[in-house]
Copies of this chain bind each other. A is one copy, B any other.
Amino acid sequence: MENITLDRCCIHTITTKPWGLSEAVENYAAAGVKGISVWQNATEGTGPHRAGEIIRAAGLEIVSYVRGGFFPHTSSAGRAQAIDHNRKLLEEAAALGAPMIVLVCGASPDQSLEISRDQIREGIAAILPLAEKLGVKLAIEPLHPMYAADRSAINTMAQANDMAEYFKSPYVGVAVDVYHLWWDGDLEKEIARCGANGNLLAYHVCDWKVNTIDLLNDRGLMGEGCIDLKKIRGWVEATGFKGFCEVEIFSNIHWAKDQHLFLSEITEAFVRTV
């Protein structure tokens, strides 16, 4: 497997949450990072169209818009509202110039995971025509089982593959995030299946800290934890994937430090461990 360079490094704006969009763009570009995945909150000051101009002017490529999904609700009104919201997100992604949105598919603790998956399928079906019209892909991101209560009823690559394959559309695929999936004994096989079906749209990296102290905001910088990142990148690239490796870290610890220092740690860790 080839060594990796910053040419394939993309950073999610949430990773450097204390920075506004312009500050993030300027600093990522200066550090030699080539891609950016834009969280919705990062476009609030400028709107998505202007955000796209700022990013492209700095020479960064927009990799994804984050995040849609959250389709399941016990009420039909709640589900309809979620679909409307996702259509709005697709319009924003198109205005931004993002080629895909990431779907955190959702779950409800008040119904079974099977019902939630049915509602996810219905939600994706409802927004897919607009996605195709706008040319914005939908990347289903399986989430760690510890998020099955209320964030995602899709918790393994196998489930994400099943869902993506159901649609038989080049506009529905899967985002592989090591944080959620590293533990799965079927991961190599399911990544290969995903790639063979043309569904591998995105690859996200961070690390799993052995003593995780917060279920949401204690992700590790690559190298801080126990994930064998090179092994998993090898599986991803064996499918022919040549896209960005997207750094997506939610961390109260890292957000609390100087973000210039953190960005230098990210770029250093990226070339060494990803």
Residues on A facing B (Cβ under 8 Å): 109-110, 112-114, 144-146, 148-150, 155-156, 158-159, 182-185, 208-210, 212-213, 215, 225-226, 228, 231
Contacts and interface: CB of A to CB of B under 8 A. Distances in A.
B144 A156 contact: no
Nearest to A112: B228
A210 B147 CA distance: 9
A183 B112 contact: no
Contacts of A184: 145
Contacts of A210: 109, 149-150
**Copies per complex?**
2
B149 A113 contact: no
Contacts of A226: 109-110, 149-150
21 contacts: A109-B210, A109-B225, A113-B183, A114-B185, A144-B145, A144-B146, A145-B146, A145-B183, A145-B184, A146-B146, A148-B182, A149-B212, A149-B225, A149-B226, A150-B210, A150-B226, A155-B183, A155-B185, A156-B185, A213-B215, A215-B215
Contacts of A212: 146, 149, 215
A149 B185 contact: no
Nearest to A152: B183
A183 B153 CA distance: 8
A208 B159 contact: no
Given A149-B209, A155-B183, 15 more contacts: A109-B226, A112-B231, A144-B146, A145-B145, A145-B183, A145-B184, A146-B146, A146-B215, A149-B212, A149-B225, A149-B226, A155-B185, A156-B185, A212-B215, A213-B215
A157 to B, nearest CB: 12
Nearest to A208: B149
A158 B146 CA distance: 18
A207 to B, nearest CB: 10
The 8 closest A-B pairs by CB, nearest first: A109-B226, A148-B183, A145-B183, A149-B210, A146-B146, A109-B210, A149-B226, A145-B145
Nearest to A150: B210
A181 to B, nearest CB: 9
Contacts of A150: 210, 226
